Amino acid sequence: MCGICGVVYGSGGKADEAALRRAAGLIAHRGPDDEGVFIDGPAGLAMRRLAIIDLSTGHQPLSYENGRYWIVFNGEIYNYQFLRAELEARGHRLKTKSDTEAILALYRDLGPACVQRLRGMFAFAIWDKKERRLFIARDRLGKKPLVYAQRPDGTLLFASELRCLFALDPGLPREVDPVAVDMYLSLQYIPSPKTIYKSARKLPPAHTLTWQDGRISIAPYWDLPLGRAPVTTDPEEAKRLIREKLTESVRLRMISEVPLGAFLSGGVDSSVIVALMSRLSDRPVKTFSIGFEEERFSETRFARLVAERHKTDHTEFIVKPEMAEVLPKLAWHYGEPFADASALPTYYVARETRRFVTVALNGDGGDESFAGYLRYAAMKAAKAADSLPRPALAALRAGAELLPEWNAPYGTAWRAKRFLRSAVFGDLPGRHLKMIGYFHEDEKPALYSEPFKRTLGADLGAAVGYMSRAFNACEGQDFINRLLYVDYKTYLPECLMAKVDIATMACSLEGRSPLLDHEFVELVYGLPGAWKLKGLRGHKWIFKEAFRDLLPPEILRRGKMGFGIPLGAWFRGPLKDFWADHVLSKDALSRGYFDERGLRAYWDDHQAGRRDHGYRLWALLMLELWHRHAAGSGAPGAPSCAQ
């Protein structure tokens, strides 16, 4: 696990070692154990290493074939031992015990097709000295990040984090992309290939980038198995396959030469991972959970049930967030506006876990594989409502607008209002966007300033097109699998994976996600959607049935609870002045995005208790905190996780 960066000049330039080291220093939190730089004329590679496997000979940049190929690699290849044995049987002479060298040997044999053989999480760059070619790849599900920028002269810059690009080239333009801001306020994240800057791009998941002679080409190499016949039509066979494949995935992710544990929230997904780890381990598994003082946002009692059932070495943290200190730190680490509020508890659990272990397995991906989110049931119910007679549907829609506002998030009344106002309106992409979105497209005109609306022009509401393209790509799938496909292509890589990668790597902790093994994902996606969401309340039915014997009954019966925080109460209490001092400040208003009256309308509504705008206020705050970091200095050093 590392942080990587590099440059290759398009017209007569030479890579600068000092600039490479400065850029790598900005991601030292990703790799505190080692540093390396390689320069070959116009090309330069740099890395920071968090040593997990092959502690003695895994130094990077690493070379192969008498120094022809050089690599910097961020991630873990879980099938590397199998690949190494296969490579050695074909005559390769490997000098290290690392997964990194296996990638290089595969690239020598297969070229860009090497990515098809890799099972894991990765972002890597390979420089071919002979062909003067740079090859970059990112893993299928977007677990590891890769950003890049290309200058007009053909020069290519790449890195694990955006700030490195500006350290490599201080002259790189920093103009904010207004469309990215608009999409962020809809989605809570900025989707690939966009970044907050016009000059920089994200390499999308499951894509490769090749640079040669100043030109780049980008190509996809993987997708979910659309249009294939069902893996099985027998639910009992499906349970067996799920159990076998996930057990294998967990076993592969327990390979480590440093201390290893697991996040345990007490939800079904992390509980299953811990149960399998316990079966595969000859010693108690180290598990970690976090809670807040606000009882309804704390899952620690459920985590304790699982820890007791499987006799884990369990550590529980109850934290009282120090927001004024932590929030600017989070804004710095994410490098662009990011509004998933669960980044805060994820950061806290990563910070505390890192005191005990260097690697932690998690339950990420279970909701997207097995229809765990409540919105899947809401969308299914909305689809059924479409079959109502037109007068009844019109009455239902009109009645939704007459219902009073409720300001207690996640209560039954709140959910009913949200469903009726969102799910029963519009086409499928529009419904989905309203279910997941922060600021809806019909609300933005009152929030945005007139100059900002003119700047956006026809691009106002770009998130609608983004979501429509995702739905169009999976036409023909059954209804639930279509919803899952969209989340696999949007929310999961762009939000969930970004959140976990940044929060864990900020603390030099490696996170591993067995449920996102691509072979497991392919298997599960090929099962009928009706087995994942049975009726309207049977979330994760086939998954729960496959592991029923390993979980306490309370875990199987409990409903979905997100990794949430009490934002509504915080913005009326400890964060009230902090928010107003930032978002309503003269500097913030001068950025030109918002009409002050529109901003104050949300604020006043929230303070008066008329509506709970906690998540919207959070998005506005994180946008302003990012701006302050971006304006404060070009490339500040990383805040320490221990601070």
CA within 13 Å, CB half, 304: 7
Closest CA to 72 of 22, 24, 12: 24
The three-state DSSP-derived secondary structure of 503-519 is: HHHCCCCEEECHHHCHH
Contact 43, 154 (CB under 8 A): no
The Cα diameter of the chain in Å comes to 75
10 Å Cβ neighbour count for 562? 15
Nearest to 49 by CA among 39, 38, 60: 60
Question: H-helix or E-strand containing 259?
Answer: none
Paired tokens of 283:
């010693």
Q: What's at 331, amino acid-wise?
A: A
Contacts of 55 (CB under 8 A, 6+ apart): 257, 258
Distance CA 8, CA 14 (A): 8
Residues forming beta bridges with residue 361, ordered by sequence position: 262, 512
Residue with tokens 């000092």: 18
Q: CA 168, CA 158: separation in Å to the nearest integer?
A: 9
The answer to whether 579 touches 571, Cβ cutoff 8 Å, is yes
Return the C-alpha torsion angle 502, 507, 509, 510, nearest 10: 10
Whether 164 is catalytic is no
Of the candidates 475, 484, 525, 487, the one whose C-alpha atom is nearest the C-alpha of residue 229 is 525
E strand map for 187-257: 201-202, 207-212, 215-220
* Helix boundaries (H) for 96-147: 99-110
Q: Are strands 156-159 and 69-77 parallel, antiparallel or unpaired?
A: unpaired
Residue 6 in tokens: 């590099």
Catalytic residue among 2, 5, 474, 641: 2
435 and 381 in contact (C-beta within 8 Å)? no
Q: Which residues are catalytic?
A: 2
